[in-house]
Amino acid sequence: MSISMWIAVVALVSGWDFARAGEPTLSQAEATLEPEFRQLRATLGARPEFGGTDADSKYRLARELAHRGDVEGAVESYRAAIHLKPQWAEPHHGLGQVFLDHHDYALAVEAFQTSIRLGRDDPQAFYWLGRAYMGKGGLAPAAVALEQAIRLKPDDAEAYADLGLVRMANGDLAGAGQALTTSIRLKPDYAEAHRLRERLAKARGKVQQAKQAGLAELKNIFGRE
């Protein structure tokens, strides 16, 4: 499936658009650390590899700040890179990772959507978009994104496991079992896929019980702490 066709399918199931969402909400702990993060930004900005005014330097700085837990600084630097090179997919992908790690799932969805629109067929972008939709509670678009990730990378055991969970939460027990079995075949020691298949088996074919188990798993994985 081409990118344009895929965008049309997801538009039908999710009603997405590319309008920019709001800013991430910092936790109290992050706000408390803001003075230290400001110092970190100043220190890194003085280094040649991070201190340039070009898009690449801003992108490198954003990646380093994200690695060190500075959400606000990373977002600011990724957006600076985007401003300087608007058609570059990678900063949007980086934004999506920051937002996903920060539980800002709507912002993550928007960032990964834009990354996909600008970039080539990238299975990781589709996989993380699927994860963002899972966190947001969009089961139908999550399944579409994960299925596209699998089409692009058929040996992705993690994508199959996530698809199995989404299908279970959506009441598709046969589809869930098939995805989880494939995940285990690809990665026999993948404990998460085994655990999910056991939960599916405990439902004994009862759709509502399986759905409740799947939804509980999603809440446990993606619930904001």
Are 93 and 130 in a shared domain?
yes
Q: Is 148 in contact with 126 (CB distance < 8 Å)?
A: yes
Between residues 37 and 84, the one the model is more confident about: 84
Q: Please report, for the domain that includes residue 192, its CATH number.
A: 1.25.40
Residues 6+ apart with CB under 8 A from 149: 123, 124, 126, 127, 130, 156, 159
Are 14 and 69 in a shared domain?
yes
Are 178 and 86 in a shared domain?
no
Q: Residue 16 — pLDDT band, cuts 50, 70, 90?
A: very low
Residue 90's domain spans which residues?
1-138
**2-36 b/e with 16+ CB inside 10 Å = b?**
ebeebbeebeebbebeeeeeeebeeeeebeebeee
Query: How confident is the model over 132-137, as a mean pLDDT?
Result: 96
In a domain, 150, yes or no: no
Are 29 and 130 in a shared domain?
yes
In a domain, 16, yes or no: yes
Q: Please report, for the domain that includes residue 67, its CATH number.
A: 1.25.40.10
User: DSSP class of residue 119?
Assistant: S
Q: What is the pLDDT of residues 66-116, one digit of tens each?
A: 999 899 999 999 999 999 999 999 999 999 999 999 999 999 999 999 999
Are 203 and 109 in a shared domain?
no
In a domain, 6, yes or no: yes
Are 200 and 120 in a shared domain?
no
As for how many domains the chain has, the answer is 2
Query: How confident is the model over 143-157, as a mean pLDDT?
Result: 98
Are 8 and 87 in a shared domain?
yes
The greatest distance separating any two alpha carbons of the chain, rounded to the nearest whole angstrom, comes to 61
In a domain, 149, yes or no: no
Are 69 and 174 in a shared domain?
no
Residues 6+ apart with CB under 8 A from 205: 173
Report the C-alpha gap between 152 and 175 in whole angstroms.
19
Mean pLDDT of the chain: 88
Are 123 and 179 in a shared domain?
no
